[in-house]
A and B are shown apart, each in its own frame.
Chain A
């Protein structure tokens, strides 16, 4: 959408702020999911940390934060109208997300290979919490893919790229959700 006058630009800016705030309500609602998962983790397993790889957990954290930063940079590139950078950053965020997904699956495989009982309380809550998170990753990857497809098809202009910004914000929630799970399940 092109903006043709200062008044229209101001209105567009106000509208984007409203979308941003409205979308934050959605993000807050989804943050509740992670809060419940963490509460259940302590309810079921106390403060016991399960026998999952600390290294892989840290690796997922680094990869996801890197991925979220890439998505954020795509949004910043859109502010400047840098079309090439938008697509490149979104692609980077997407593949890093795929990598994080696979690393969590690898963590699961590692636990199974270690021969630990599946119904160990600390593992039960780990399966379900990380399983929840993987669903969010799949949704987030679809959203990043859609944002990139839209970028290729119709492009983004500095004045109006709400679709891209929403994707970036959702992906940030997924990353922060992992960080919260990582702290609760791996560290404390």
Chain B
């Protein structure tokens, strides 16, 4: 059945039916691109005895594949040809096929990002299960060589950090909801956004398939000089991350410009929704730090394929570590800031109580953003002079203050509220608890003497899983349940929602609280075998981890079921005030028939509080601009 098409370009009639679905054409063109570029590399190779696929050829071929993939998926007709003056073809605006091809609608793009990050979460989760299966025994069982295990750890970490943690909240929820929440019909750069999402599957496949080129053992950090002695699979780690970070960079630029310039009338900075503030602060961090890590990784890659001596034992391995952690620690806040913002978004709605100290909550996000670039060297206390440790220790402890502002706002809001204990509420409270544990153990690790003892133990692994899984993933789940009626016009089962939330909360804490104990008992990171006395604790930790994996699967199945088949629900079931609830569910292609005008705060509740939104009657008033 023919699907409706939007008229985007001057001559949509010129649209031709592609002989292949875009994804299949993307794969075909990617294969052709790989073959052509690898052949070019082989042709230019001065050594005539090299095989067809060399390290250089694999890198060149990857770039060819990337170009082919992006052109094949729709970049050729929708981006490259219009750049040269050809008309843009029409874009599908309804039906399931629109999720599998180039799109301009930020909501479709948001769902594409959410699908990609959820799929990757499952892949990374399965790898985690395999790791925990190995760690049930102190001897090799599943992974017979330590390199295999370390490679699994690296792929798990890379996919979780660069695809799930960085992408789900910003690329997924940010793309879908920020334009709705600020009252605009589209993002600032929809064409770039429509392309950027397709870099995610490319990046995920590249990282996941990287061991085919040879094992790499550096974890998600690509640490030098270990990287220099690793297999060529590391090249695809660098390239996969390059694709993923390019995608996130485009999202950051697009959403920042959208928030700056596309707000509807009356949407002043004082009225900007907290989630939009969270996305703005994260995006500013991404705009600075993602190009930094991309450059570092490309240099690391060149170091291997040229080969040079930039970061290996003959060069400056510590320099790589500096450059990595310059990005690496802001990355933690890139992951967490949207989660902190989600708390302030959900709790006032569920408590029917005005958000406590809203300016402080916003300042907390801003100061976390500002301080996040000043704490990075606490990851390197074991390789620094004492004199250098103090400022980084100081700022690491300082950053807990603006982080505490987010708690202050939510706890102040909870105080004396008549809280509706729904699934999103429960998950926010769980996320706050988890992040508190992560934050408190972070204070231990910021303290130099404790850090020197706990470095490279499971205590550190427990700490960052409490912040990232406990903080971000729980908030992501809260947001998914909260906004499910908006996505689909349907809702979930409170019973299954609460059961799923309690399940993952119990299993999560049973798993990762044990990590602290294991760490204190001497369990090292980066090992697949360990002293026998640690086996009982590891065994029960793994059992809890399997329950955790099952819990996440139950929640995902429940959300997908509710999205497709859940009971229909009224358009604003939470009686929330933000603008995304002022349009139908799911929202129409252009979001609003008439752009709303904001006249008050979204977070003020109480008797006699006027509606913060006005809908202009006249069509003349529908052109929005920042107030």
With A33-B294, A163-B83 as contacts: A119 and B308 at CB distance below 8 Å? yes
Among A33, A128, A143, which residue has its beta carbon within 8 angstroms of that of B291? A33
> Is A183 in contact with chain B by the CB < 8 A criterion?
no
Q: Is the CB of A128 within 8 A of B309?
A: no
Among A37, A124, A151, which residue has its beta carbon within 8 angstroms of that of B308? A124
Mask, A145-186, CB within 8 Å of B = 1, is 011011111100000000100000000000000000000000
Q: Is the CB of B309 within 8 A of A14?
A: no
Q: Which residues of chain A have C-beta atoms less than 8 A from B262's C-beta?
A: 18
Docked Cα-Cα span, A153 to B10, in Å, equals 13
Docked Cα-Cα span, A143 to B84, in Å, equals 9
With A44-B319, A124-B310, A149-B85 as contacts: A37 and B287 at CB distance below 8 Å? no
Docked Cα-Cα span, A109 to B309, in Å, equals 21
Most chain-A CB neighbours within 10 Å: which of B80, B253, B254?
Answer: B253
> Is B374 in contact with chain A by the CB < 8 A criterion?
no
Instruction: Name the residue on A nearest B188 (C-beta).
Output: A22
The size of the chain A interface, using a CB distance under 8 A, is 37
Mark the stretch among A24-32, A59-67, A74-82, A92-100 that contacts chain B: A24-32
The size of the chain B interface, using a CB distance under 8 A, is 39
Instruction: Name the residue on B nearest A143 (C-beta).
Output: B83
Most chain-A CB neighbours within 10 Å: which of B292, B295, B309, B322?
Answer: B295
Mask, A101-135, CB within 8 Å of B = 1, is 00000000000000000010100110110011000
> Is B592 in contact with chain A by the CB < 8 A criterion?
no
Q: Which residues of chain A have C-beta atoms less than 8 A from B290's C-beta?
A: 29
Q: Is the CB of B291 within 8 A of A30?
A: yes
Mask, B84-126, CB within 8 Å of A = 1, is 1110000000000000000000000000000000000000000
Instruction: Name the residue on A nearest B284 (C-beta).
Output: A25
Report A36 CB to chain B, min CB distance, Å: 4
Among B310, B315, B323, which residue has its beta carbon within 8 angstroms of that of A36? B323
Docked Cα-Cα span, A163 to B260, in Å, equals 21
Q: Which residues of chain B have C-beta atoms less than 8 A from A150's C-beta?
A: 83-85
Q: Is the CB of B85 within 8 A of A11?
A: no
> Is B256 in contact with chain A by the CB < 8 A criterion?
yes
Q: Is the CB of B295 within 8 A of A32?
A: yes
Docked Cα-Cα span, A146 to B80, in Å, equals 8
Instruction: Name the residue on A nearest B189 (C-beta).
Output: A22
> Is A43 in contact with chain B by the CB < 8 A criterion?
yes
Mark the stretch among B156-164, B298-306, B448-456 that contacts chain A: B298-306
Q: Is the CB of A153 within 8 A of B310?
A: no
Among A14, A18, A44, A131, which residue has its beta carbon within 8 angstroms of that of B302? A131
Q: Which residues of chain B have C-beta atoms less than 8 A from A153's C-beta?
A: 84-86
Mask, B276-300, CB within 8 Å of A = 1, is 0000000000011011101110110
Docked Cα-Cα span, A86 to B299, in Å, equals 38
With A36-B291, A128-B299, A163-B83 as contacts: A14 and B256 at CB distance below 8 Å? no
> Is B257 in contact with chain A by the CB < 8 A criterion?
yes
Report A150 CB to chain B, min CB distance, Å: 4
> Is B249 in contact with chain A by the CB < 8 A criterion?
yes
Q: Which residues of chain B have C-beta atoms less than 8 A from A154's C-beta?
A: 85
Which residues of chain A from 1 to 52 have any CB-CB distance to chain B below 8 Å in the complex?
A: 11, 14, 18-19, 21-22, 25-26, 28-30, 32-33, 36-37, 39-40, 43-44
Q: Is the CB of B310 within 8 A of A44?
A: yes
With A121-B309, A121-B315 as contacts: A25 and B287 at CB distance below 8 Å? yes
Mask, B611-627, CB within 8 Å of A = 1, is 00000000000010100
Q: Is the CB of A29 within 8 A of B291?
A: yes
Among B261, B287, B323, B625, which residue has its beta carbon within 8 angstroms of that of A29? B287
Q: Is the CB of A36 within 8 A of B292?
A: yes
Docked Cα-Cα span, A30 to B252, in Å, equals 13
Docked Cα-Cα span, A51 to B257, in Å, equals 44
Q: Which residues of chain B have C-beta atoms less than 8 A from A147's C-beta?
A: 83
Most chain-A CB neighbours within 10 Å: which of B84, B257, B623?
Answer: B84
Docked Cα-Cα span, A151 to B85, in Å, equals 7
Docked Cα-Cα span, A125 to B253, in Å, equals 29
Q: Is the CB of A32 within 8 A of B302?
A: no
> Is B141 in contact with chain A by the CB < 8 A criterion?
no
Mask, B233-267, CB within 8 Å of A = 1, is 00000000000000001001110110011100000
Docked Cα-Cα span, A29 to B294, in Å, equals 11
Report A42 CB to chain B, min CB distance, Å: 10
Q: Is the CB of B310 within 8 A of A40?
A: yes
Q: Which residues of chain B have C-beta atoms less than 8 A from A11's C-beta?
A: 623
Q: Which residues of chain A have C-beta atoms less than 8 A from B315's C-beta?
A: 44, 121, 124
Q: Is the CB of B302 within 8 A of A25?
A: no
Docked Cα-Cα span, A132 to B306, in Å, equals 14
Q: Which residues of chain B have C-beta atoms less than 8 A from A143's C-beta?
A: 83
Docked Cα-Cα span, A184 to B80, in Å, equals 35
> Is B3 in contact with chain A by the CB < 8 A criterion?
no
Docked Cα-Cα span, A132 to B291, in Å, equals 13
Q: List 7 A-B contacts (CB under 8 A).
A: A18-B188, A18-B261, A26-B253, A32-B291, A44-B310, A124-B309, A146-B84
**Which B residues are closer than 8 A to A by beta carbons?**
80, 83-86, 188-189, 249, 252-254, 256-257, 260-262, 287-288, 290-292, 294-296, 298-299, 302, 306, 308-310, 314-316, 319, 322-323, 623, 625
**Which A residues are closer than 8 A to B by beta carbons?**
11, 14, 18-19, 21-22, 25-26, 28-30, 32-33, 36-37, 39-40, 43-44, 119, 121, 124-125, 127-128, 131-132, 143, 146-147, 149-154, 163
- List 15 additional A-B contacts (Cβ < 8 Å) besides A36-B296, A121-B309: A18-B257, A19-B188, A25-B253, A29-B290, A32-B288, A32-B292, A36-B292, A44-B316, A119-B308, A124-B309, A127-B306, A143-B83, A149-B85, A152-B85, A153-B85
